[in-house]
Chain A
């Protein structure tokens, strides 16, 4: 058997699987998004933009996603950065690995169970009861945008810490020494050396978190209680409750498009920032 034939044989199962379980379903979604709703709940093939024209009906879901996803990403960044900095620069090397693993472990455990924990904490018998006890009454936390934001930060913090840690860990520590030897204040060193050199890590972390947040369903479903909902929640409603496949497909296609466009613009911006970073590293 030639090497060529062998490679084809090795690739065949994975290739077929991707074809049937990824490309075919995605194509069906794209085709259905131009179709019409059948009375029985299915889709009548057609070529109409009617479904896309109807998108404003789900405007709130898009608006919530496009506000809470960036806010959640930014909040995670602000909380993750100091921790990543601590792990990469300040922490005792002996403890570094174990501390890092401790950050990542929660990410690989069930997000369902971890979000459920916050229902417990933010719900009526949890934190509000405690606040009540110290005299602050009538605080409602669960089913608010705040609860969803807490859930988001909690769920995705590990994903933000890791890439930033990697970029800070790679950073040549002699640059920091040189900077302080030349009389730079710690803040100046941070702003002119550490921060610019960690931009690739920040970019990766933000992108990962943002992409996952765009398709989020569980956190708003559990902590937003139907009041704070994302596009993901609208999709579940459209496909599993009202069974409007044509319209649901249009919403799904739009979600992926919005995601791709945002990520592309974002990458452009980062590359431009990266270009100016070169000057710093040469200095």
Chain B
């Protein structure tokens, strides 16, 4: 039994280990190790395409995680206090957002937004004052952030609601009995208790957005995120540079994950 478990762990970590190992390989070829070197990291980090893609990815991940945590938390707090059709509708929306395959979300966003933009652009051009060229709505950073935020909001609502339902209701009741305003109660009681969950939601959202390929592939327009860059370079052939980028991407997710775990744990202890 223990032997079997070890085998599964090796299966899970061997491929990751291989990537990390070969990212430090001095040689060009995948087949043989030729000594330690960090040259591929240097090469990746001085490649303007990589740095550009990295910048785009970080910007998109940060913005959409921030928006999703803000709006998701707001919705989760409101949903806690209501019942009836509004709640049912939101439950359904969250369910649909999570259930529909990412690829279908990507496609739908692409053709939905392009259709809307095609209608709006002539209108925008006609009402644009002055002689300058009117702004043109296009697929790009905005659509990518909007699409990620939609999906991540569902994720944040799920995480924060789990935290809220585990919270002792007596605390908020006590606070309002002691004449705290609703906002005062929220700021001084609810928010400190759910904050670790909100932050964990932010970090998981960031990781998801940073790693997402399929939605970005459809809605990023002419922008290139890091996963899109990696995907297209893999198509052109396996190079040691991708190993270095891959290792860095894995490291980013790992740091975020560990932080999220610690926060969720601490939050659980605090409310007990």
Contact = CB atoms under 8 A, between A and B. Distances in A.
A240 B110 CA distance: 10
A211 B99 contact: yes
Interface in A105-130: 105-106, 108-114, 116-121, 123, 125-126, 129
A120 B30 contact: yes
Interface residues of A, number: 76
Interface in B1-16: 1-2, 4-5, 8-9, 11-16
Q: What is the size category of the interface that chain B forms with chain A?
A: 35 or more
| Chain A binding surface SS class | helix
Contact of B234 (A21, A103, A119, A255): A119
B246 interface: yes
Contacts of A29: 104, 107-108, 111-112
A8 B253 CA distance: 35
Interface stretch (B39-47, B74-82, B187-195): B74-82
A131 B158 CA distance: 47
A3 interface: yes
Interface of B: 1-2, 4-5, 8-9, 11-16, 18-19, 22, 29-31, 70-72, 74-75, 77-79, 81-82, 86, 90, 93, 96-97, 99-105, 107-113, 115-116, 146-147, 149-150, 153, 157, 182, 204, 207, 211, 213-214, 217-218, 227, 230-231, 234, 238, 242, 246, 249-250, 253-254, 257, 261
Interface of A: 3, 6-8, 10-11, 13-15, 17-18, 20-29, 32, 43, 79, 82-83, 85-87, 90-91, 99, 101-103, 105-106, 108-114, 116-121, 123, 125-126, 129, 154, 157-158, 211-212, 214-215, 217-218, 222, 232, 235-236, 239-240, 245, 248-249, 252, 255-256, 259
22 contacts: A3-B81, A10-B74, A11-B86, A14-B74, A17-B150, A22-B93, A22-B105, A24-B116, A29-B112, A83-B4, A85-B1, A86-B5, A105-B254, A109-B253, A109-B254, A112-B230, A114-B15, A117-B246, A125-B31, A154-B15, A239-B107, A255-B104
